[in-house]
Structure 1
């Protein structure tokens, strides 16, 4: 189905809903393609390919709201589907806060091309994809006698969507992604250390096609001999690819749903200094080729570049239309785009060299954070640092504390950005973190 055909069908579905009792309607039609191959022991272990399409419709009927989706796109079937959905919606409870966004907040078109789609997605040779997975495995096989197992995967995906609403919005999106992932386990005596490494890109020719196997093996071997060390309060460096685990609770606390439900430790904190002045963070939806780039969000709200934290001061919340009405706040957007950190001067090696005694955290094992209080406890893997050098691997240790205290104690933010995510996280050095071990 072409983009024009999607628009035609979406508008027909919208009008059919209006004609049958809905006062407001939002319709999206999306299609996706994906493939993946996993190899193990020099054989293809799993090969998958999927092509999907479907329609989603949001209905506002007599002050009541419901959302529905279907993969059956023939008009006669859709007509019955929509009519039954409207009748079912009439049995729900009224919710005065459920409406479409105000029209003036919509994206109006003519935005810059954000370059999020590989136009050659469908022409990539399937054999080439399989060969990439086998090449990653070859980087590991016969490289070390301690190797127990290796699993390598290639994956990709394409998503296209059009959306229309009954109060004036029309917009479409298209994006693609490609990736390679390798997981390795090795013999470490009583333990079986594991590690993985991933590379991804929006366009196939930008994908780093070598190195995942080699890096995964190196990281697994470095874990051999992991053990607990004595409990204590010391510095902590969190590697860039793992920062999201402890940064996520801060972002979750900014969501309108968490604020309205009193499940946020950042309620009534806008305009106040809540974390270290070393944290300056911008939500930038307009990065060309950015993993989270977009001209409008899932509701059709036009996106804007926003400061989230400015030298530790909280500048914005993530508020969609529904929770904006409940909280009597202006909607911004229901979620993040690209999160861009103001970086420091040192890469990971530079951060390590600055630490007299501490732990470099390379992964988290379980744990949780209380959304209401910000109190957390996480298991960690990593390495002991003494006098600026890595001494030995550690594991089966926990960190405990409070999110606001942790992020108020930033020692330094690195410059080594993780570009494999829409959260462009650098490594971060924290002071005075409580570690529990022996």
Structure 2
């Protein structure tokens, strides 16, 4: 019989106390996932996973250790606690280690209001296969598509429970539903591929698989017969599909762990302008039906809406307890962890201010430049923000997309790039990271 997760975490804390821990926290995660892949209209692969994982973090003074297991028997819990305490006694002291103060802990949250779990029944494998087949058929139905590399559909459900020895105990359920398709256009060495996909918390919100297949096909066709542009400085439009990666570099630099190590080009930038004055970057972990929503973080602190960047100015870092203590700041409720490791800072749902112009408007204003639709590799200097990435997309001439481009390298400095951004108004509001297409002037492109 499967044990309730709250009883598992309570049992882990009790075992830790018996083993000699001064304090502890315990995390239990139970879930199931089904993934269906099809090829040529028939089932290619079906995967089903189910399990419960548990993790225990103990403190002996300022020394700490973490252990994990997937066996929930009482004797395993006792052995975990004994091993964790023995490991902690041998670990070096960490002056910043420790649980939250009781008055910092989350209280009176409403997980139901966040709609993190779809109450609809789990779809049968046959229903997932039908969606994957529909996406594949739609892609193959577009003229010029010779094959589909992958068409998949999946469903997952996960329950999480966290408990600490100083009084916190809380949990929630989360579900996810997805469909994706990768289409291939062209033949031989001239083949090009692209993809589309959708993932939602509620199955009823999912885009139609036929739409996903057609979109993947059209994107693959756009990439046929690519060229290399001439080396030079041009405006670059980061397509909405990949614009979040550009903002991701800002988020990584504002991560408290990087700042505490001194390995961030934003380490001395609090109160400084890092985006255009009309733009803000808002974190809101309380958006209903969004994958990054949660009522509390992995240390039991309440999550909260906050401005990471407000009117262009960097207002704070992303902090868990330990890194907040290192920087002598207040934690922001952004601790994330799995069962086999300790907490680290992570952002939840983010939204960048959208612009007043459409993507097409920005393309028309570019004159000559590059629309980036995919990126590979990355060379980012974390201390200076120097940026270099391989890219592919569409070349624009006289404000009109003219031909496909691949094998080009984009270079610049993130601090300068981010302050020269112009956003479009095409962000998808259901994503956890809501970022529109972004136009950046004067980037260096290395082509022919």
TM-score range, shorter chain: over 0.9
Q: Shift of the alpha carbon at 1:9?
A: 2.6
The answer on whether the counterparts of 1:10 and 1:29 sit within 8 Å (CA) in structure 2 is yes
Q: What residue in structure 2 maps to residue 427 of structure 1?
A: 437
Quote the Cα distance in structure 2 between the aligned partners of 1:91 and 1:190: 57
Q: Is 1:248 equivalent to 2:259 in the alignment? A: no
Which 4+ stretches in 1 moved above 4 angstroms? none
Q: Shift of the alpha carbon at 1:39?
A: 0.8
Q: Shift of the alpha carbon at 1:72?
A: 1.0
The answer on whether the counterparts of 1:41 and 1:150 sit within 8 Å (CA) in structure 2 is no
Quote the Cα distance in structure 1 between the aligned partners of 2:279 and 2:380: 20
Q: What residue in structure 2 maps to residue 48 of structure 1?
A: 47
Q: What residue in structure 1 maps to residue 233 of structure 2?
A: 233
Matches within 5 A, 1:219-230: 219-230=219-230
Matches within 5 A, 1:399-418: 399-410=410-421, 412-418=422-428
Q: Secondary structure at the match of 2:83?
A: helix
Q: Kindly tell me: are residues 304 and 110 of structure 1, through their superposed partners in 2, closer, same or farther at Cα, counting changes over 3 Å?
A: closer
Larger deviation, residues 197-206 vs 113-122: 113-122
Q: Is 1:393 equivalent to 2:392 in the alignment? A: no
Matches within 5 A, 1:54-73: 54-73=53-72
The answer on whether the counterparts of 2:144 and 2:221 sit within 8 Å (CA) in structure 1 is no
**1:133-166 Cα shifts (integer Å, max 9, x gaps):** 1111111225335514432000121111111101
Q: Shift of the alpha carbon at 1:101?
A: 1.4
Q: Secondary structure at the match of 2:273?
A: coil
Q: Shift of the alpha carbon at 1:18?
A: 1.3
Q: Is 1:296 equivalent to 2:296 in the alignment? A: yes
Quote the Cα distance in structure 1 between the aligned partners of 2:82 and 2:149: 52
Q: Shift of the alpha carbon at 1:353?
A: 2.1
Quote the Cα distance in structure 2 between the aligned partners of 1:183 and 1:146: 11
Question: CA RMSD for the aligned pairs?
Answer: 1.7
Q: Which runs of 5+ in 2 are unaligned?
A: 335-344
Q: What residue in structure 2 maps to residue 202 of structure 1?
A: 201
Matches within 5 A, 1:16-415: 16-111=15-110, 113-122=113-122, 124-187=123-186, 190-210=189-209, 211-332=211-332, 333=334, 334-410=345-421, 412-415=422-425
Q: Which runs of 5+ in 1 are unaligned?
A: none
Q: Shift of the alpha carbon at 1:236?
A: 1.0
The answer on whether the counterparts of 1:241 and 1:418 sit within 8 Å (CA) in structure 2 is no
Q: Shift of the alpha carbon at 1:188?
A: 5.4
Quote the Cα distance in structure 2 between the aligned partners of 1:2 and 1:270: 48
The answer on whether the counterparts of 1:133 and 1:154 sit within 8 Å (CA) in structure 2 is yes
The answer on whether the counterparts of 2:153 and 2:180 sit within 8 Å (CA) in structure 1 is yes
